[in-house]
Structure 1
Amino acid sequence: MIAESLGRTLTPSPYLGSSILSAKVLIDGGSQAQQAWLPRIAAGDAILSLAVDEGAKHAPSRITTRAERAGNGFKLNGAKAFVLDGHVADALIVVATAEEGTTLFLVDPATAGVEIERTVMVDAHNAARITLTDVAVDADAVIGAVGGGEALLDGALNLGRACAASSLTGAGDQAFKTTMDYLRTRKQFGKLIGEFQALQHRAAHLFSELELARAATIGAQIAIDERREYAPLAASIAKAKAGRVAELAVQEAVQMHGGVGMTDEFDVGLFMKRVRVLNELLGDAGFHAERVARAQGF
């Protein structure tokens, strides 16, 4: 409900990156010292950012950032892109590949060799590009076990995908409701445009699709809460369905508003920008459709 409301209100919050993705990693694998961050995250006194993606597309299975042993710790080298709120993060959770496998590290942004460049997404969402050059961290920076980061990362990403699906559903639903209000008040050819049957059919179809997206999202959240075996599959179904439906909702909103739908004075354009960003975060509809197909043996 919170994630859906954030999407509905276009809230500029570090909720997804800090309170969901980063907190989930620390809850599942953090040491006692690392979990000391959790009360601060909950109180809004600290922001943590998960640094996983390295290119234009979400690809958590292709991590090129390296973690090489150096004395009692590691040296990190690589680059991360689209790190949510990374420029203001109090700590970074960096996904890297060690000799033993995928490993997660809790890194202080002030550590020598960490270079952070603020970037702004199309919806004005804060993000960062982070470069790691011989960044020295000790063994205590490892979250969980060395080489055991894949399961921690998957758990966080699946939860994040379900939450992103909720935000997409909220954004799409609000764009739909805004459009319905417009259809009930805008007159053309001497009558309300909502009286035209062609627009009524499109609105009815969109309403049905939004309900399907909401059902898929709720199903994914229940599966994750109950630790069902099919939870990763449910998260991908929800993200793919909500992404496609929200995209349809904002496109229809712009179309039914006409020219004013392209202006900054009308909110539908803002919803389109937010949906475009949420669609790409943690994998777009194509990424998750392929993930579902492979899980089903196709």
Structure 2
Amino acid sequence: MNFQHTEDRRMLADTLNRFISEQYGFETRDRIARSAEGFSAELWNRFAELGMIGALFGETQGGFGGGGFDIAVVFESLGRGLVVEPFLDTLIVGQAIARSGNEMQKATLAGLIDGSRLVALAHGEPDSHYELARVTTRAARSGDAWRLNGAKAVVQQGESAGSYLVSARTHGADDAEDGITLFLVPRDAAGVNARGYRKIDGGRAAEVTFDDVALDDDCLLGAAGDGFATLEYGIGCGVLALCSEAVGAMDVAKDATLEYLRTRLQFGVPIGSFQALQHRMADLLLEIEQARSAVINAAAALEGERKVRERALSAAKYSIGRIGARVAEECIQLHGGIGMTWELPLAHYAKRLVMIDHQLGDEDHHLERYVSLGRG
């Protein structure tokens, strides 16, 4: 396997890292993360102009990337800047539309890529416990329309999105893969309600309820009852994205800690000269490289056979969850008390690393999933 990015991807990474370092400094990011909207529409449009969204999609979809390593390059850069704009849901929803949408729905991908259209993923439920097939939101036929009822939890940018990609059960048991149907639901449809709140690691999310929402067949994404495979692939892209984002955040936390060890003096010498701290930092560097390797493996498997892909993604997410928590803890401890202060960017990177573990399945969930996918 060639572990070197292509020249185009290296140029993309250089451009994104430079833009984020110059235009998305920590103070700017902190202001945006605390804002009433939870993201910057102006910077979202600028990211789109730079091609950061287009890199997440293939040429047939209107983009210029779309492969596993393209996703990894973009999200690693986003992780370095703790970017809060809605890249993750745009990726998941866009990949789902590209995979199963009709011609009219695929035409809307242009709006996602140019940043003019926001669609949020509304899949997780209060009692789903990360299980992808556990969907209790229901949609039933009533005359010429579907009637949608249920509740979705932690919908990213649920207040700002113009529509939602909603998973609903049209038949089968609550945890069956068969019977899951995907709908594109307008935010302003009668019966849709969103209650927004700030997230602990920046940005905003919402609890969204659907009370007898009437939908026609044009809102269906793919065939009724056959949405699981599309959902699994889209969320798989999201898992790769989160893992790549975590690697970017780990690199920044590592660099900040190394700099602190070189400059913080105790007994007249840098504390980085103490052998015990050198050993701890060396162990941490090895762990981060292991996380990077897991992400490379997942990116390479993204377009492969389903079981190979899903095992690689779960292996990466498990590794990121375990290593991310360790990086957060060690970097804060090596900084001492100052590592916990809100004013120090490191505390925010540590918080984001911990929260990434809880998005799209934590390390315990993905370890169990990895084992189960290896059976049979």
How far residue 36 of structure 1 moved from its aligned partner, in angstroms, is: 2.0
Alignment partner of 1:9 is 2:81: yes
Aligned counterparts of 1:254 and 1:122: Cα–Cα separation in 2: 18
RMSD of aligned Cα (Å): 1.4
Task: Render the CA deviation track for 1:59-99: whole Å, top value 9, x for unaligned.
Answer: 32211100111112211100001111111111100001002
**Which consecutive segments of 4 or more residues in structure 1 shift more than 6 A?**
none
Match of 2:118 in 1: 47
1:279 maps to which of 357, 361, 365: 357
Alignment partner of 1:143 is 2:221: yes
Task: Render the CA deviation track for 1:27-49: whole Å, top value 9, x for unaligned.
Answer: 00011111122111111111111
How far residue 172 of structure 1 moved from its aligned partner, in angstroms, is: 1.4
Percent identity reads: 39
Alignment partner of 1:35 is 2:106: yes
Normalised by the length of structure 2, the TM-score is 0.77
Secondary structure (helix, strand or coil) at the match of 2:103 reads: coil
Aligned counterparts of 2:375 and 2:280: Cα–Cα separation in 1: 35
Alignment partner of 1:130 is 2:202: no
Alignment partner of 1:22 is 2:93: yes
* Contact 1:172 1:245 (8 Å CA) reproduced: no
Match of 1:60 in 2: 132
Aligned counterparts of 2:197 and 2:105: Cα–Cα separation in 1: 27
Count matched residues. 297
* Contact 2:164 2:185 (8 Å CA) reproduced: yes
* Contact 1:50 1:94 (8 Å CA) reproduced: yes
Match of 2:41 in 1: none
Alignment partner of 1:202 is 2:253: no
Match of 1:82 in 2: 154
How far residue 218 of structure 1 moved from its aligned partner, in angstroms, is: 1.2
How far residue 226 of structure 1 moved from its aligned partner, in angstroms, is: 4.3
Aligned counterparts of 1:136 and 1:189: Cα–Cα separation in 2: 71
Higher relative contact order (CA 8 A, sep 6+): 1
Alignment of 1:228-239 (within 5 A): 229-239=307-317
Q: Which runs of 5+ in 1 are unaligned?
A: none
How far residue 229 of structure 1 moved from its aligned partner, in angstroms, is: 4.4
Task: Render the CA deviation track for 1:220-272: whole Å, top value 9, x for unaligned.
Answer: 11111345640011011111101211111111111011010010111111012
Normalised by the length of structure 1, the TM-score is 0.96
Aligned counterparts of 1:28 and 1:76: Cα–Cα separation in 2: 23
How far residue 169 of structure 1 moved from its aligned partner, in angstroms, is: 1.2
1:153 maps to which of 205, 224, 231: 231
* Contact 1:121 1:277 (8 Å CA) reproduced: no
Structure 2 residue identity aligned to 1:21: I
Q: Name which of structure 1's ranges 248-257 and 120-129 shifts more when overlaid on structure 2.
A: 120-129
Alignment partner of 1:163 is 2:241: yes
* Contact 2:164 2:186 (8 Å CA) reproduced: yes
Alignment partner of 1:259 is 2:337: yes
Match of 1:291 in 2: 369
Aligned counterparts of 1:275 and 1:59: Cα–Cα separation in 2: 22
* Contact 1:83 1:130 (8 Å CA) reproduced: yes
Match of 1:73 in 2: 145
* Contact 2:324 2:354 (8 Å CA) reproduced: no
